[in-house]
Amino acid sequence: MTTLEELDDTLQAGSPVPVEPLGDDAGQSTAKVWLGRIAFGAIAVLVLLLLATQSKARATAGLAGGAVVVTGGLWIGANLVFNQAAKNWQLFNALRYGIGGFIIAGIIAGNGAINGASEGTGVIGRLTGFIWFPLIIAAVTAATGWALGRIDAPTTRLAIGAGGMGAAGLIIGAMMDSSARPDNDAVALIGWTALVAGIGAGISFLRKQPPTGGALLGAAIGWILGAFGAPDIGDGAAGWAIVACTIPAAAFGLRFAMKPIGGVVEHAQVDRRARPVIFLAPALLFVTVTLVIPAIRTFLISLKDRKSEEFVGIDNYTDTFSDTNSWDMSGWNDMFFNWPMRIGLLLLIMFAVIGTRMKQRTGRLVELGSPSMGPLIAGLLFVAFGVFTTLRGTIINNLWWVVVVTIFSTALGLAVAVLADDVKFERVAKSMIFMPMAISLVGASVIWRFMYVARDSSKEQTGVLNAMWVGLGRLSTGQSVAATVFVFAIGLTGLSVLLRAIAGRKYVMALVAIIATPLLVLGVDAAWEALSGDLQRFLIGAILTLTFLALLAYAAKAIARGDFGPAIVPTIAVILLGWFLVRYWGIVGGGVGGQKTNSNGEIVGDPINFIQSSPYNNVFLMIVLIWIQTGFAMVILSAAIKAVPEDVIEAASVDGATSSQIFWRVTLPQIAPTIGVVVTTIIVLVMKVFDIVKVMTNGNFGTQVLANDMYFQAFTSQNFGRGAALAMLIFFSVMPIMVFNIRQMQKEN
């Protein structure tokens, strides 16, 4: 009460303390808090409802919750134990000896090797059934640890270590169930003990430590192996069981006692060294269970036969490589004569010519952004196409995917990132290109399948690409040239006039546009249909020729002026349109695009079977992934480009570098590590490509890739050995790239 009054007083006194008025802001934040509470309550109710109604959810929640509690408890416990290392060494020593003894004795008793320790029924029964035995052993070992943590005299330590641990071993041996008592196999016992002791001594020697410790440890392990691993287990002599257990335990005890007690520094070191292990343990455990063990298992399956029954060595791998479906070299002699190879070689010759000229001038054959770089890269790409289209098979296809998708995704992503940098519509352009990343691979495949659809040549094409291709064919052969183009042109003009008139409030004009446009459309359409076919063809040709001439004049003028940049697009258009017109007027052959003459002499559509015609159907599948991955490359590279320091670029431009020089010699070297990460990430993704092939061809028509073949072998043919071998093949080929990638990323950090 007083506080409120005081506050009131201060306020009235005009205190300089700023107090926020209870305005809109405060109301809003209260509302927000309440909204949050309601949402939380709703979710909680939903969760409880699910847990109450779904027995499976309840069971799994219990299991997962229990696992989290147990793991968390163990983790906290481990931390607490190691907290004692620096504080109270004696307690710590007792704890670790006790816990160690408890765990080992628990394993022994839990496996039914102890007389009188049995699994009872129910949770309590189970615990009381055999928990007493580990507790006894833990008490003995903890006492040993307690003593070893206190006494400093070396001989006394040795006696306590051997005696204490030996006593624990004696108890285990004495209480051993008759079914677990081993026979005495002296030869194996001596052999194993000597062998492992030798190994232990050797390891100690290599680590430049006195070999006694290693030999003792090895002898203990060897003894256990020889006493329990080699002979038959069960109904051995009771006395021998005691000896077999006591001696190795005593040896362990001796070894532990050999280590001096150490001072504060050593104890703090134990604490410090243990922490990273404790902190990593949950993650390591998770990785082991979900990744390492499955990987090892897959490797083992790959060495077994189709039903994982017998070991067959590396047969599955040799079968994979000898199968012509995965590795077909039969076409190799065509490799040097197909057209991509010829173009590639031509480009490489071009590179050689330009490169030598460059070398005379600058002393280098090729440089980033030099004129010789283009022909070199394009040439190598074409040569790769020449190789990949003639050598066929699953493995070749995978390599082809890696080369094409990686190069094109990265190059296109880089191009967009550079070109869209700091332009007006940057955000829109980038969002558009990034959009496909949001589409699942399966969804993208379905979309592109519609793009690629072909219909029988006598039908209208429903696929976008084939409709354009066949439409081009019809246009270029002057068949059934529709007035659609004109109708569209008039319609669009009318619409734009209408919109402009409305925007300018010229309603009379708008009315005229509304009335005149449809009339014009209908009139032109009717007039067009009335013309004879030849006249239609001539008119279309005339319009296109005039366009061609206009473009030619523009391009020529630009080139004459020396403006090569603006001349690029018109020049390409002139070349394409020129070729089209040559075919259109029948100067060389007839027609461009999807059309052919059938056996009856009629011209019919000739769609491209994008998905079925091998080997280039592979490329059309790759386009889907390029379409998706370009956005990824663009985003990462765009961020890298923006991170290039402005002053470096400014300095370069002050020094008189052109914008292309700045890009090739300043920006690109700066973002090279990022490009490395993008490339390796895409390679790893492409090596595993599955969805696109599965959806679009299911591996038919020579488009099989490793991942889909793995699925086919394992789950359709039920040949698990072969499937696992393919999985390992993918794993091995991805591995080095992953390692490189991770190192690169660490270097960057």
Q: How far is the CB of 175 from other proteins (least distance, A)?
A: 38
Using the rule CB under 8 A, which residue among 90, 184, 614, 670 binds other proteins? 614
Per CB under 8 A, 454 contacts other proteins: yes
Residue 611 interacting with other proteins (CB under 8 A): yes
> Could you tell me the smallest distance in angstroms from the CB atom of residue 27 to other proteins?
20
Q: Which is nearer to other proteins, 62 or 566 (CB)?
A: 62
CB closer to other proteins out of 177 and 691: 691
Q: How many residues bind other proteins (CB under 8 A)?
A: 45
Single out the residue of 731, 659, 719 nearest to residue 301, CA to CA. 719
DSSP 167-195: HHHHHHHHTB-GGGPBP--HHHHHHHHHH
Span of 21-29, 251-259, 452-460, 683-691 interacting with other proteins by CB under 8 A: 452-460
Per rule CB under 8 A, is residue 324 in the interface with other proteins?
yes
Is residue 609 a contact point for other proteins (CB under 8 A)? yes
Residues within window 672-701 making contact with other proteins, judged by CB under 8 A: 698-701
As a whole number of angstroms, the distance between CA 208 and CA 548 comes to 85
State which residue, 638 or 708, has the beta carbon closest to other proteins. Answer: 708
Binding of other proteins by 333 (CB under 8 A): no
Residue 182 three-state SS: strand
Rule CB under 8 A: say whether 294 interacts with other proteins. no
Among 121, 333, 600, 749, binds other proteins (CB under 8 A): 600
The burial class, CB within 10 Å (0-12 / 13-18 / 19+), for 150 is middle
Q: Least Å distance between CB 446 and other proteins?
A: 13
User: In whole angstroms, what separates CA 8 from the centre of its chain?
Assistant: 62
Given its phi and psi angles, is residue 369 left (phi above 0), alpha (psi -120 to 50 degrees) or beta?
Answer: left
Among 718, 736, 742, 743, binds other proteins (CB under 8 A): 718
Interatomic CA distance for residues 215 and 208, integer angstroms: 14
Q: Which stretch binds other proteins (CB under 8 A): 415-423, 489-497, 525-533, 601-609?
A: 601-609
Told to check if 612 binds other proteins by CB under 8 A, we report yes
Segment 719 to 748, residues that bind other proteins, using CB under 8 A: 719
- Dihedral sign for Cα 552, 558, 559, 564, please: negative
C-alpha closest to that of 685 among 746, 615, 622, 640? 622
* Residues with Cβ within 8 Å of residue 626, at least 6 apart in sequence: 404, 405, 408, 409, 412
Smaller CB distance to other proteins: residue 128 or 717? 717
Residue 37 CB, shortest distance to other proteins, in Å, is 10
Can you tell me which residue has the tokens 């890298």? Answer: 640
Please name the residue that has the structure tokens 């580990």: 134
User: Considering beta carbons, is residue 410 or 617 the nearer one to other proteins?
Assistant: 617
For other proteins, which stretch binds (CB under 8 A), given 53-61, 259-267, 418-426, 658-666? Answer: 53-61
CB neighbours (10 Å) of residue 191? 15
Amino acid identity of 632?
F
Q: Is 61 in the site for other proteins (CB under 8 A)?
A: yes
| Nearest to other proteins of 71, 653 (CB atom) | 71
Residue linked to tokens 């109708």: 487
Q: Which of 68, 187, 289, 549 is the binder for other proteins (CB under 8 A)?
A: 68
Closest CB to other proteins among 360 and 458?
Answer: 458
Binder among 431, 480, 484, 716 for other proteins (CB under 8 A): 716
C-beta of 731: minimal distance to other proteins in Å?
A: 20
Distances from the Cα of 91 to the Cα of 82, 87, 225, 283, 443, angstroms: 10, 9, 32, 29, 62
Q: Does 153 bind other proteins (CB under 8 A)?
A: no
User: Rounded to an integer, what distance in angstroms lies between the CA atom of residue 171 and that of residue 144?
Assistant: 14
**Residue 553: CB minimum distance to other proteins, A:** 41
Q: Which residues contact 303 (CB under 8 A, 6 or more apart)?
A: 311, 312, 313, 314, 316, 721
- Measured CA to CA, the distance from residue 352 to residue 358 in angstroms comes to 10
**From the list 60, 288, 362, 440, which residue makes contact with other proteins (rule: CB under 8 A)?**
60
Is residue 178 within the footprint of other proteins (CB under 8 A)? no
Q: Is 455 in the site for other proteins (CB under 8 A)?
A: yes
57 scored as a contact of other proteins (CB under 8 A): yes
Helices and strands, number each (H, E), in the chain = 30, 2
Q: Does 661 sit near other proteins (CB under 8 A)?
A: no
* Footprint (CB under 8 A) of other proteins, residues 248-287: none
Distances in Å between the alpha carbon of 452 and those of 127, 610, 625, 651?
67, 6, 15, 49
Cβ proximity to other proteins, 391 vs 567, nearer residue: 391
Binding of other proteins at residue 325 (CB under 8 A)? yes
Which of these segments, 62-70, 229-237, 377-385, 731-739, binds other proteins (CB under 8 A)? 62-70
Exposure of 338 in the CB half-sphere (CA atoms within 13 A):
17
Nearer to other proteins, 627 or 712 (CB): 712
DSSP per position, 579-644: HHHHHHTTSSSS--SSEEE-TTS-EEE----TTTSTTTHHHHHHHHHHHHHHHHHHHHHHHHHHTS
Q: Rule CB under 8 A: which of 304-323 touch other proteins?
A: 306, 323
Q: Residues near 285 by Cβ (< 8 Å), separated by ≥ 6?
A: none
* Interface with other proteins, residue 50, by CB under 8 A: yes
Residue 598: what are its φ and ψ, rounded to 5°? Answer: -85, 180
Q: Which is nearer to other proteins, 55 or 746 (CB)?
A: 55
One-letter amino acid identity for 398? N
Strand (E) or helix (H) holding 709: helix 706-711
- Which span sits near other proteins by CB under 8 A: 61-69, 163-171, 573-581, 650-658? 61-69
Binding site for other proteins (CB under 8 A): 47, 50, 54-57, 60-61, 63-65, 67-68, 306, 323-325, 453-459, 466, 599-600, 602, 607, 609, 611-612, 614, 698-702, 711-712, 715-719
